Chains A and B, each alone.
Chain A
Amino acid sequence: MALRRFDMEAGGDSFAFKPETEPTIAFWLGKYPEGKQRSAVIPLLWLAQKDNNGWLSEPAMRAVADRLEMPYIRVYEVATFYTMFRLQPVGKHHVQLCGTTPCMLRGANDLKKVCEKKIGKKMAVTDDQRLSWEEVECLGACVNAPMVQINDYYYEDLTPESLGEILDKLKNGVDVAPGTFVDRQKSAPEGGATTLKDAGLYDGSRNGVSTLPNLPEAAPASDPKPEAKAEPDKAPPTNTDREEPKVDEAEIEGDKPEALQGDKPADDLKRISGIGPKNEDQLNALGIYTFEQIAAWTPDNVKWVEGYLSFRGRIGREDWVGQAKKLASGAETEFSKRVDAGEVESSREEGDE
């Protein structure tokens, strides 16, 4: 921010609000109780700036002061405090270029060079009065960095080329629609969605009909006991990091499944939906290596493993046993197909708790 002073010459000696602005002024004045109309000083300065080709001249500032019966110096203080009030003339299209860190990291400095080349120095107006620019602090659109604001609208995801094109168009009197300038929808990922793309998510075929786990009739095998429910440790899993479950095997309800006997080749357990690398390691530690083993789990075994892995009800819900039976028989599941096709990164995301 540099020293800001009124451009007295360009400001002339008079200013009047446009007639169509009057209702808006009345709206703002009406918001405050009688005698407190001074509170509307910022909105009125803003309206004056709009009515004065985008900048606040000294007569415009005085007009606001007179209307609010404020001493000029008090309005002057406000007008110079907020950099959104521009005290020098600006072009028809005033570019506010965000130079704050996220935009800077995404190339705002290159955009500045474009502005300097196409418009000139900061706050200089082109000869045709069409363009001017300034650097501003964060405009709050970091996710679409780098970006500029031209008059009232945001132009996002710019490159030196796209900004140059925008400026050229505006210079030639061609309107440019605001928004993003890359292939994305608003702040969505570039090139389209990267998650939640499975069509099955939307037609109901993805996981079959899901049942809500906490309903009384759902997963009766893992029906938690009332006192267990009250234990905070048994809260449902969250996305946040948790400590490794430290479980005393003897205390877990149910039967511990048997470890693998003999020398059989290990299966890729991650092909089961619900088993990620971490769960696989833990299962391996228990001696569980093959689909056959899991396919042979009794409900008591399932209960024990759920207790051991600290996710009550999930094995039943995700039907590990059923999946394992299919996979053991050499058949495929929807999920295993995707795993084999490399579409699933290591395994399902939710497997990596």
Chain B
Amino acid sequence: MADDLFKLNIDGKDIEVPKSYTLMQACEEAGAEIPRFCYHERLSVAGNCRMCLVQWKGAPKPIASCAQTVGEMRMNPDGTPPNILTKGDYVEKARNGVMEFLLINHPLDCPICDQGGECDLQDQAMAYGRAGSRYALNKRAVENKNMGPLVKTIMTRCIQCTRCVRFAAEVAGVEEIGMISRGEDAEITTYLEKSLTSELSGNVIDLCPVGALTSKPYAYNARPWELRKTESIDVMDAMGSAIRVDAKGSAVMRIMPVLNEEVNEEWLSDKSRFIWDGLARQRLDKPYVRENGKLRPASWKEALARTAELLGGPADKIGFLSGDLTEVEQLKAAKDLAEKIGTKSLDCRPAGAGYGADGVREKYVLNPTLMGIEDADALLLIGTNPRVEAAVWNARIRKAWLWNDLKVGVVGEPVDLTYDYEHLGTGPGDLPGLLSGSSEFVKTFKDAKRPMVVIGEHALVGENGIDVLNAAHKIALDAGAISEDWAGFGVLHNAAGRVGALDVGFVPGEGGSDTAAMLSGGLDTLVLLGGDEHDLSNLGDTKVVYVGHHGEAGASKADVILPCAAYTEMDATYVNTEGRVQMTSKAVQPKGEAREGWAIFRALSDVVDKTLPYDSADELREVLREENKVFAGLGFAPGTAGYEALREAPAAAQGLEKARPFGAAFEDFYLTNPIARASKTMAECSLMKRGLETPVAAE
């Protein structure tokens, strides 16, 4: 028997598990099912619900298996491995008793509870509970607490498992939830019922094993068994978190996280989770054309004919500009059409961005990967605030900081990231001399085995963007972050569609205009693929063809509106910031007459008589895969595979001293894209957040 293994006999079956296992893990290894409420794999062990009791033969009392470390158990007196029973009268009786106690103060209001149907307490009461209660006294009642616009509380249902308390303190890093008073009066609350300020607060809803914390926007909307569940990919940030879209009829009713260990573990940011009401508001559901200065509904035929007219002019006066949420298929079709028309003016980047034009993929993806943070020993963040740009990843950085002793340094705005870091500077000017500094972090960073340099996409936008990239790259090389088994340099994007667009090559060709040039009004026709976040105020006489799904900035400028499907309404390819190619799934039908983006350009190509060579999305993807092999590896992040490309020293960075300090990537975490801006829930969150940031002496 190896030193770090321990033998056990569980339900008559001999098994060997690492000594660090808890008894619960060992029982699961042996194939036994252990009920639990307070225990959660990603949180610390509390051991307070007592639901996971098992029998240890010879022990005077049942054992809470979640809190018992296997290595600390002792052998039977005759030297044989300890016998554990997870079944049988003894264990059943113990669980029975625990269940009865838990239900003493639990209101049996399942018929009106949103958790009904997916409630741990309900399920476990069915499986392990008694038929009735012997408790004849009054139940206690607890006042509901305000936790903000996202989390609805019905605290009488709470069984005090403290999962939410531990999540807020450990994962989210905001110590805002706690258990006050004690014994019978114990209550879960935020401090004086202030709203939660975490970007991850919605996860407490998933964690709550009962109906105490439920989704406020989803309240009383649907029952879990009525929902059609479709696994998909989130596009609210560039992480590409795995989600499940729950829909009823044509409406998305809620969005839940799905486990993807490599990307989002099992968390989801509030924006990704609560965006869904924005998918039903301000939608473009039919084509429009502008007539006498006013938009009026039109048929597809008319709208496409009008678009063809606008695209009929000189090719060098036509531009294609993509926004943050555009899927790969649409970009590919648009790009192919642009090529057929003959224009070289294509862009997908924010105005002023210089990166990505050379086509070296490693220079615009997050090479160390999101999961790589758990192997890193030092992290340098440049011009990025992962707490709002990739909230779930920020929790993972926090995890590494908490458990792996990861050291973090920041060049940029000194914001609260939920973990300690050393602030090394505020702008590009601090980059060249960074490694010659004598601070504690720089020392650790230079000695680190796996240092990681992450630069925010926003830091690369502006006059010296490419120089900032080069300077950061140089720091990574100098610190030894690039080797055969570790590519510790990457870009953290904040737009879901960006990496895919760069992979498609949606950048200006030789002599073509870039974003800034296209937006300055020199074109006859600009085809906007989403792109509401671009500054459209200087377009002048440029005619705008807007392909998008929300009636916002872009649509208001448009001469023709071609409505397309949003990310929940199509099977579409997105590439996340790591370069991981992933696909969304169609959960509901596109709104009204809206069509999938690629199909619009395919139809348009017919009208302008430059037919594209594919008739279905699958055929288009076939072409994509042939042209760029990265699209062949679905779900795969290249990681260190591309270290060779990073080995080469970058061009010397220039003019960094004069460059502006790094700012925030966006003003408001909750309002970064047209879907979010259409969402009432996000608007409430935004109001709440702004309300909190204005100084309040005492409420």
Stretch among B179-187, B255-263, B678-686 lining the A interface: B179-187
Stretch among B72-80, B170-178, B511-519, B618-626 lining the A interface: B170-178
Check A73–B190 contact: CB distance below 8 A.
Answer: yes
Contacts of B181 in A (CB 8 A): 1, 3-4, 80-81
Within 8 A of B (CB), among A65-124: 71-74, 76-77, 80-81
Q: Does A277 contact B (CB under 8 A)?
A: no
Q: Does A128 contact B (CB under 8 A)?
A: no
Q: Does A157 contact B (CB under 8 A)?
A: no
CA distance A4 to B187 in the complex (A): 11
A13-B697, A58-B192 as given contacts; A71 in contact with B176, CB under 8 Å: yes
Check B697–A73 contact: CB distance below 8 A.
Answer: no
Say whether chain A's binding surface is mostly helix, strand, loop, or mixed. helix
Within 8 A of A (CB), among B188-246: 190-192
CA distance A73 to B191 in the complex (A): 5
Contacts of B185 in A (CB 8 A): 1-4
Contacts of B190 in A (CB 8 A): 73
CA distance A2 to B143 in the complex (A): 13
Check A77–B179 contact: CB distance below 8 A.
Answer: yes
Q: Distance (Å) between the CB of A34 and the closest chain B CB?
A: 16
Closest to B178 in A: A73
Contacts of B191 in A (CB 8 A): 71-73, 76
Within 8 A of B (CB), among A1-19: 1-4, 6, 8, 13
Q: Does A59 contact B (CB under 8 A)?
A: yes
Within 8 A of A (CB), among B267-297: none
Contacts of A8 in B (CB 8 A): 698
The count of residues in chain A whose C-beta lies closer than 8 Å to any C-beta of chain B is 17
Contacts of B698 in A (CB 8 A): 8, 13, 58-59
Contacts of B180 in A (CB 8 A): 76-77, 80-81
Q: Distance (Å) between the CB of B517 and the closest chain A CB?
A: 50
Check B192–A77 contact: CB distance below 8 A.
Answer: no
Q: Distance (Å) between the CB of A63 and the closest chain B CB?
A: 12
Closest to B697 in A: A13
Say whether chain B's binding surface is mostly helix, strand, loop, or mixed. mixed
Within 8 A of A (CB), among B628-643: none
CA distance A3 to B155 in the complex (A): 14
Contacts of A80 in B (CB 8 A): 180-182
Q: Distance (Å) between the CB of A60 and the closest chain B CB?
A: 12
CA distance A6 to B192 in the complex (A): 9
Closest to A4 in B: B181
Check B177–A73 contact: CB distance below 8 A.
Answer: yes
Contacts of A2 in B (CB 8 A): 185
Contacts of B182 in A (CB 8 A): 80-81
CA distance A58 to B697 in the complex (A): 12
Partner of B178, one of A3, A13, A77: A77
Contacts of B178 in A (CB 8 A): 73-74, 76-77
Check A1–B175 contact: CB distance below 8 A.
Answer: no
Q: Distance (Å) between the CB of A35 and the closest chain B CB?
A: 12
CA distance A4 to B179 in the complex (A): 13
CA distance A8 to B190 in the complex (A): 16
Contacts of A13 in B (CB 8 A): 697-698
Closest to B183 in A: A1
Contacts of B184 in A (CB 8 A): 1
Interface string of A1-43 (1 = CB under 8 A from B): 1111010100001000000000000000000000000000000
Contacts of A6 in B (CB 8 A): 192
CA distance A3 to B183 in the complex (A): 11
Q: Distance (Å) between the CB of B186 and the closest chain A CB?
A: 9
Which among A3, A6, A73 has the highest number of chain B CB atoms within 10 Å?
A73
Closest to A80 in B: B180
Closest to A79 in B: B180
Q: Distance (Å) between the CB of A319 and the closest chain B CB?
A: 55
Q: Distance (Å) between the CB of B612 and the closest chain A CB?
A: 57
Q: Distance (Å) between the CB of A313 and the closest chain B CB?
A: 47
CA distance A186 to B513 in the complex (A): 97
CA distance A4 to B184 in the complex (A): 12
Contacts of A74 in B (CB 8 A): 175, 178
CA distance A206 to B318 in the complex (A): 124
Interface string of A259-301 (1 = CB under 8 A from B): 0000000000000000000000000000000000000000000
Q: Distance (Å) between the CB of A13 and the closest chain B CB?
A: 4
Within 8 A of B (CB), among A214-231: none
CA distance A73 to B177 in the complex (A): 7
Contacts of B183 in A (CB 8 A): 1
Closest to A82 in B: B182
Within 8 A of A (CB), among B126-164: none
Contacts of A81 in B (CB 8 A): 180-182
Q: Distance (Å) between the CB of A70 and the closest chain B CB?
A: 8
Which among A8, A59, A77 has the highest number of chain B CB atoms within 10 Å?
A77
CA distance A324 to B91 in the complex (A): 72
Contacts of B697 in A (CB 8 A): 13
Q: Distance (Å) between the CB of A77 and the closest chain B CB?
A: 5
Closest to A12 in B: B698
Closest to B179 in A: A77
CA distance A8 to B191 in the complex (A): 13
CA distance A76 to B176 in the complex (A): 11
Interface pairs (18), CB distance under 8 Å: A1-B181, A1-B184, A1-B185, A3-B185, A4-B185, A6-B192, A58-B192, A58-B698, A59-B698, A71-B175, A71-B191, A72-B192, A73-B176, A74-B175, A76-B180, A77-B179, A80-B180, A81-B181
Residues in chain A within 8 A of chain B (CB atoms): 1-4, 6, 8, 13, 58-59, 71-74, 76-77, 80-81
Instruction: Contacts A13-B697, A58-B698 known; list 15 others, CB within 8 Å.
Output: A1-B181, A1-B184, A2-B185, A3-B185, A4-B181, A4-B185, A13-B698, A71-B175, A71-B191, A72-B191, A73-B177, A76-B178, A77-B180, A81-B180, A81-B181
Residues in chain B within 8 A of chain A (CB atoms): 175-185, 190-192, 697-698
4 A-B pairs closest in CB distance: A71-B175, A73-B178, A13-B698, A80-B180
